[in-house]
Amino acid sequence: MQTPLAWLNVTSNLGRMLLNALGIGFAVVLMFTQIGFLYGLFDSAVEVLRLLKTDLVVLSPARYTVPSEQRFDYGLIDRAKGVSGVSQVIPLYMDRSLAVARVQGHVSRSIRVLGVPVEARPFVDQSMNQACEELTDSRFALVDRRSKESYGFEKKNLDKLRAQSVELSGQTIKLHDWVTIGTDFVYDGTLIVSEAGVERYFPNRNGRGQPLAAVDLGLVRIESDAQIDQVRQGLQSRLGSGIEVFTHKELVDREINFWARNTPIGIIFSIGTIMGMFIGVIICYQILFTDIQDHLPEYATLKAMGYGPGYFLRFVLAQAFYLCMSGFLPGWIVSWFLYQWLSQWTGLVMRLQPERVLIVGCLTLVMSILSGLLAVRKLWRTDPAALFK
């Protein structure tokens, strides 16, 4: 049985091994953080959409991104209800330009306000639906627990929340309970009100028309035996060019693509991730180079015994792999805790999903290969005769 020299080289000195793992783990955490912010910003931008329970979404063709406030007439909601295969159509109202929240003792700030029919159960989360059903008074509102601290909303004690003195667009509003949504590119906080609340706080949202006559999104649920493509075609045909119809997934993907292509965010954090990998390459290379330098006589002996370049390549790559994995595992664990803290602190949706762990794992593998290829050149150039003079 062959002696696992690479593994023994890595683990022979526990103190040095821990120090090496710490250095490489730093690069791993850096990559996880950059990827976390990249996907966290995209996930946050579509979190509200993902919370909605719907098969199809109807919106104005002028609404190039969900936060823009191009609306369509409520009459199209009524027409959509008559399309074959449609079981329910729910109007959703979104306001920001007219929505200003002020908690007593804090400055006024713009906020996103979602208006929902209280009994329509528009959300996937049943606790959110139950909370919406309690909006029986037009002055009641639900507040996103992950809204920025600068608003001043109480986030721990429900009695204190309900006792807070809060205004929305210059009128008193009563915070009734919490929901969990999160911040994004545009919004630092969210309130949910009833349709009556929309009329109360935003009477001018539709110019001189009725406030509820201008709808932001139409949530279409189809019957269980209906074909979604046929229902979609039926909606588009019946409602005409005044609306666009997307599947739930298509709208989520469109929103992510908008922010990825029209902002430098994707490029910035992608470059940050690659830079993290190269930092890891440099750290791992320095560790390998130092180890090779310290054991040159032993390596020279192996060369003199007839071991060729292929053996040393496999040896150094194996050692680089063990080093990188020793840093990857603790880096993964630290990143999980870091994600939880960053999510609480920033309000962003940061999830350490398996595919993101796989991305960082693959980058760590590339890191080990590159550092190994750089370090093995020292061994290839070593002349055994020169070391034994």
pTM: 0.81
The pair of structure tokens assigned to 210 is 């009725």
The interaxial angle of helices 265-294 and 296-304, nearest 10 deg, is 70
39: tokens are: 């996907």
pLDDT at 18: 87
Lateral strand order in the sheet of 109-110: 109-110, 100-103, 166-168, 171-179, 140-144, 190-194, 112-116, 86-95, 217-222, 56-59, 244-247
Q: Which residues of the chain have pLDDT under 50?
A: 1
Beta-ladder partners of 110: 100
Element (H, E) at 195: helix 195-201
Closest of 45, 47, 48, 349 to residue 217, by C-alpha: 48
Give residue 260's identity as a one-letter amino acid code: A
Tell me, what's the pLDDT at 1?
Answer: 39
- In angstroms, the CA 214 to CA 72 distance is 6
In the chain, where the domains are located? 5-46+264-387, 61-242
> Cα–Cα distance between 364 and 31 in angstroms, integer?
9
Phi-psi region of 105 (alpha: psi -120 to 50; beta: other; left: phi over 0): left
Q: What angle do CA 237, 242, 243 make, to 5 degrees?
A: 75
- Mind spelling out the 3-state secondary structure of 295-310? CHHHHHHHHHCCCCHH
Q: What pLDDT shows up at residue 221?
A: 96
Residue 205 phi/psi, 5° resolution?
-65, -20
- The DSSP code for 83 is S
pLDDT on residue 230? 94
Q: Of 98, 35, 23, 11, whose CA–CA distance to 363 is shortest? A: 35
The two most distant CA atoms of the chain are separated, in Å, by: 96
- 320 φ, ψ to 5°? -65, -40
